[in-house]
Structure 1
Amino acid sequence: MTLATIRKRADFLAANRGLRVARPGFVLLAHPNGGQGKRFGITVTKKIGNAVVRNRMKRRFRELLRAALPEAGLPDHDHVLIGREGGVERDFARLADELGEALRRAAAGKGDPPRRRRGGRR
């Protein structure tokens, strides 16, 4: 089974409305995609580091998702990993364990509470 990559901004925004599971190295978003199979996307902001650091983190996340999603991913869902600050230094095996746990929590419907908004924007 091949995994499709999410490329459109609208799909990333839709995933943001889905289930959120936070871990020390990343945040997993899972959102139903209407029968388009298992898809994944990766987001790493400039707050994480320069381009070299961000690209390294994206390569690691891509490999984690390709290994975990065929078995543990939610069927017909978009899976988005958002990089967090400590994620690039974390041990790869530990990240893999955390991703497996996050996918199990998402499959059970046990997401984290919605995040609080900062500032005055509504």
Structure 2
Amino acid sequence: MADTDTEMVALDRLKRRGDFLRVARGAKWVAPGLILQAAKRPAGDQAAARIGFTVSRKVGGSVERNRARRRLREAARLVMTAAARPAIDYVLIGRHTTLTRSWPQLIHDLETALSRIRIDETAR
């Protein structure tokens, strides 16, 4: 259940390659369990926050990549619905340690990345 004290933000999904490339040019924070990239939306586009997920083949085979992606999606659902800012696009990138990091540590990595990333400097 959602906590009634925090405002929940609906997260749309990033799906187009161009959006992923634009966010990759934005701000980035590297944590042991994940990498968070963020960028402002183009001027005039002030809709809800959007999020994308990617895990490269360096992480492992399809089973490992899908497991890492599922862990990132659940972490984003728990953390980012309350912490994501509108009109910002986010990309979560899975790492080898996304699979082995304990769940509390992975959540902490995402919370830390969200609190420390500097999106204002990357206005495009």
SS of the residue corresponding to residue 7 of structure 1 reads: coil
Q: Residues 61-115 of structure 1: CA distance to partner in whole angstroms, max 9, x if unpaired?
A: 0011111112111221111011112111111111001100100012xx28xxxxx
Q: In the alignment, what sits opposite 1:8?
A: 16
Distance 1:88 1:17 in 2: 26
Aligned pair partner of 1:67 in 78, 91, 101: 78
Q: In the alignment, what sits opposite 1:26?
A: 34
Write the letter of the residue equivalent to 1:16: A
CA RMSD of aligned residues (A): 1.6
Distance 1:8 1:44 in 2: 16
Distance 1:95 1:42 in 2: 15
Write the letter of the residue equivalent to 2:51: F
Moved over 2 A (4+): none
Structure 2: runs of 5 or more not aligned: 1-8, 120-124
**Any conservation in 1 of the 2:26–2:38 contact (CA below 8 Å)?**
yes
Structure 1: runs of 5 or more not aligned: 111-122
Distance 1:6 1:36 in 2: 13
Over the matched positions of the two proteins, sequence identity in percent amounts to 37
**Any conservation in 2 of the 1:38–1:69 contact (CA below 8 Å)?**
no
Query: How many residues in Structure 1 have an aligned counterpart in Structure 2?
Result: 109
**Any conservation in 1 of the 2:47–2:86 contact (CA below 8 Å)?**
no
Is the aligned partner of 1:89 residue 2:100? Answer: yes
SS of the residue corresponding to residue 47 of structure 2 reads: coil
TM-score (norm 1): 0.83
Q: In the alignment, what sits opposite 2:3?
A: none
TM-score (norm 2): 0.82
SS of the residue corresponding to residue 113 of structure 2 reads: helix
Write the letter of the residue equivalent to 2:85: L
**Any conservation in 2 of the 1:4–1:40 contact (CA below 8 Å)?**
yes
